[in-house]
Amino acid sequence: MSVQNLPRFRRPYGIFLRIRFLNGLQYRAAALGGLVTQFFWGGLTICLYAAFYRSDAAAFPMTFPQLVNYIWLQQAFLALFFVWQNDNEIFDCISSGQVAYELCRPWDLYGMWFARNAAHRLSSAALRCVPVLLVAALLPAPYGLTAPASWQAFLCGLLSGVLGFLVVVAFVMLLYIATFYTLSPLGLRIAVSALSEFLSGGLIPLPFLPDGVRQVVNLLPFASMQNAPFLIYSGSVTGPAILSTMALQCFWLGILFLVGRLLMRRTLRRVVVQGG
């Protein structure tokens, strides 16, 4: 089959995604350093929570095994769901003015950057998730990763993970677009990364927040990132709540994607390349 006859997605977005994914797999030393950090941080966090659970386990909204599953999944898929895991080359491309070359190429810039950021995250996670999951599963109870309560929980957690990943990429696209309006994206990236890490359950799982705060946070797009799939897999979210959680993920994915494309179109109509 010739290149001209390939499906539209694979010409060029799918091919570009594959190239970026394979390129990201080359950074094995960085992945090894990240593995050591994630094992240490995950174990330290679990030990910290274990001290609190020994005092009164009934006072917490999640059982200790559910919490352990949440933490190990968080460490395994850190690169997929944390907003600060960005493709710095895109920020540099905008800040340096090299985006002018991107605008001359015959492709949709939003779609290309979306594929590029997705590939960057997938390649980083591919090098780390399997070792973390294997070692975590071999740890003695109750400190190791356990299987989900049912195959339905596993499948729903997997599908929710895909949705959460796409929500993260669509949200990060807004950061890239906002960089067109700033001289430096550093301040915006720090503020958004800190806020999103807390509101997505990166610091503490969202069920641990006070009731009034949690009800509001659960409606925000951040709760549809890592929080949703991890709670479904761990069994903290069950029954009809799974469907409503995934429906909210679909809602935010559609909103963020639509807003991102509209903003990108409007931005490129009036873009001013720095230095030109």
Residue 125 confidence class, pLDDT cut points 50, 70, 90: confident
pTM as predicted: 0.85
Q: What is the pLDDT of residues 60-74, one digit of tens each?
A: 999 999 999 999 999
Residue 83 confidence class, pLDDT cut points 50, 70, 90: confident
Q: pLDDT: is 161 or 188 the higher one?
A: 161
Q: What is the pLDDT of residues 214-241, one digit of tens each?
A: 999 999 999 999 999 999 999 999 989 9
Q: How far apart are CA 19 and CA 141, in angstroms?
A: 40
What residues does each domain of the chain span?
A: 3-269
Q: What is the pLDDT of residues 13-56, one digit of tens each?
A: 566 566 655 565 555 555 566 677 778 888 899 999 999 999 88
